[in-house]
Amino acid sequence: MSRIEDYALIGDCRTAALVGRDGSIDWLCWPRFDSAACFAALLGTPQHGRWKIHPCEKIIEIRRTYRRDTLILETEFETESGAATLIDFMTLEDGEVSDLIRIVAGKRGRVAMEMELALRFDYGYSVPWVTRLPEGGGIRAIAGPDMVVLRTPVELHGRDFTTVARFEVGEGESVPFVLMHEASHLEPPPPLDAQAALEATGRFWSEWSRRCSFAGEWSEVVRRSLITLKALTYAPTGGIVAAPTTSLPEKIGGVRNWDYRYCWLRDATLTLLALMDAGYFDEAAAWREWLLRAVAGRAEQKQIMYGIAGERRLPEYQLEWLPGYEGSAPVRIGNAAAGQFQLDVYGEVMDALHQARKGGLPGHEPAWAMQRALLENLEGLWHKPDEGIWEVRGPPRHFTHSKVMAWVAADRAVKSVEMFGLEGPVERWRELRRRIHEDVCRNGFHAGRASFVQSYDSEELDASLLLIPLTGFLPVEDPRVRGTIAAIERDLLSDGLLKRYRTSETLDGLPPGEGTFLICSFWLADAYVLQGRWREARALFERLLGLCNDVGLLAEEYDPLARRQLGNFPQAFSHVGLVNTALNLSQARNPAAQRGREESEEAGTAAP
């Protein structure tokens, strides 16, 4: 089993695959991010499905990289007899057929290679019926509604319900393998020219990357994170998944294993803010349309997350036949958090749409009507306890961050009227904003700790409190904010990285223990920037960049003791944090400082 950080991502903005350093694709859900996996070795064994291509002989060295500003992965295998490069990518076509292409290119000498394809539909449960294509040159595998076709000039053989092959590649030669998914009741999709598809895919990603408006220091790592975020978008609908995987553990051997292949309003919103700050507004427009469809109906039925096409029922269940990543069970499909009440989502949605307008996204009357409905609903909900940003499975609480984001929702509604002339009961919203602000400052601040605290009934800290100055709720110069940052540094830092909070069964309803949450450390670096602590901000950011794997990807968490990545991978939240902090460290751009100054004008004088 490969370590989480040993994987790289390829995708087609519909789904994504994880490719190990050893040339094994151990995870792929086809044809959508949330479809059942046909390669599930990531959460089990090779017998649960994988596709491996690698040299037959001893490997001296493995080097890999993405082609510049693309999602085309190149893995170079060095052996005693020569060197060969495995090129992996997925095409980006408008049709319904999804293609995964692997090309083995000879670089030096002559290298003997082998291929092993174990297709296992329904998360490793169903072994398909495999037959040769009538025209030759490949196979067709069918189980229930799924069909996968493999075409290659290499001779294929069956062995123990697995398709295998051996071949050689010499310098200047290339051997293609084209895997295509289609519904089983249809005819096999027509052949595809692998080389032409490679060139077209490279053009797509290169042209998309050139739209990036950030050209300062760290521009390469910023573009890599932006490409990763783009790869997590579902092109047909505009939805954005939190990660392409499920059940990668937050603690090895633990039970904090969740399905992230859905669209959290919070995660998608923060992703869009990062994309917009880097100049990508098409994605913002597509997400706005997705949002309007997803939340259409009664405002009180709004959920905190949806399926990638706006599906509302995401029942959570467990796959008993999969042992889990390194024995981390259970493996969960679906997510019960879809039924939670999370107050902060109101603020994130309102802020994203407000920032989109500020950035020049054309006005959209249905979007403003939806926002007004959300505000009307919020007026009757903001004083209630919720499950909070971290989706705790213990009792609801009055989480301070949730209340702050309720203030953000009211504040952005007021600003939308003031800045863009939109219609709405602005005086009522100003009063709502004032009442929420006073409530937070009165109940969320603990004088004995000289800090804001996780919830109104607690003395515990929470990294989400770092967002108080970033949202403009209070200026960073406020002594309560300074005290909060200092307290978080004292209590939540672990080997220089930040935990989101101190886990406990009382709060979570789950056994304690997890890694450091990467986006929280990026938030701390952003807070340092706002405080003018540039050297500390830069040092922390460089430390976080050092946690990226060899192709620039981050999971959700990091274990500083075991020195390995944890959680679903790659994680949109982590790459959002990377992009935002890089922009914030660029003093000319610094969106956090600009946003904080603009939004805190009326908040900074509130009494404790």
Closest CA to 357 of 408, 304, 413, 410: 413
Range of the domain at 342: 222-599
- Domain-embedded: residue 39: yes
Token couple for 219: 């521009």
What's residue 356's pLDDT? 85
H helix and E strand count, the chain: 16, 28
Co-location of 168 and 243 in the same domain: no
Residue 232 resides in a domain: yes
**Is residue 293 assigned to a domain?**
yes
* Rounded distance between C-alpha atoms, residue 573 and residue 570, angstroms: 9
pLDDT class of 474 with cuts at 50, 70, 90: very high
Same-domain check for residues 592 and 545: yes
Report the alpha-carbon distance of residue 22 to residue 499 in Å, rounded. 32
Model pLDDT, residue 597 = 55
Q: What is the mean pLDDT of the chain?
A: 92
In 241-294, beta strands by DSSP E: 263-264
Residues 6 or more apart in contact with residue 94 via CB below 8 angstroms:
none
Q: Are residues 159 and 265 in the same domain?
A: no
pTM of the model: 0.94
| 381 and 331 housed in the same domain | yes
Contact present, 269 and 408 (Cβ < 8 Å) = no
Domain of 132, CATH number, reads 2.70.98.40
Q: Which of 244-248, 269-273, 373-377 has the lowest mean pLDDT?
A: 269-273
Q: Is 297 left (phi over 0), alpha (psi -120 to 50) or beta?
A: left
- Who has greater pLDDT, 89 or 602? 89
- Assigned token pair, 109: 């000498």
246 in the same domain as 349: yes
- Asked whether residue 201 is assigned to any structural domain, the reply reads no
Q: Do both 144 and 260 map to the same domain? A: no
Q: Which pLDDT value is given to residue 605?
A: 41
Q: Residue with structure tokens 């390995």?
A: 564
pLDDT value of residue 439: 98
What average pLDDT does this structure show over 380-395? 92
Residue recorded with tokens 């940052």: 485
The Cα–Cα gap between 469 and 488 comes to 14
Residues 361 and 500 in one domain: yes
In the block, which residue shows the tokens 């539909």?
121
Residue finishing a domain among 124, 158, 186: 186
Q: Which two tokens stand for residue 416?
A: 């939308």
Asked which of 186, 206, 240 is the last residue of a domain, the reply is 186
Domain boundary among 168, 186, 204: 186
Q: How far is CA 483 from CA 285, 480, 516, in A?
A: 39, 5, 22
Give pLDDT tens digits for 276-311: 889 898 888 888 888 888 888 777 888 999 999 999
Count of other CB atoms within 10 angstroms of residue 20: 23
Same domain, 298 and 431: yes
Pick the closest to residue 501 from 537, 455, 552 (CA basis).
455
Residue 208 falls inside a structural domain: no
Do 166 and 227 belong together in one domain?
no
| Assigned domain for 209 exists | no
- CB neighbourhood size of 164 (10 A): 15
On whether both 386 and 251 belong to a single domain, the answer is yes
How are beta strands 497-498 and 493-494 bridged, if at all? Answer: antiparallel
The domain total for the chain is 2
Q: Which of 219, 3, 207, 74 lies closest to 551 in space, CA to CA? A: 74
CATH no. for residue 477? 1.50.10.10
Average pLDDT over residues 353-373: 85
Cα separation, 465 vs 166, whole angstroms? 56
Asked if 346 and 244 sit in the same domain, the reply is: yes
Spatial CA neighbour of 322 closest among 46, 528, 83:
46
Residues 89 and 182 in one domain: yes
Any domain includes 194: no
- Is 294 part of any domain? yes
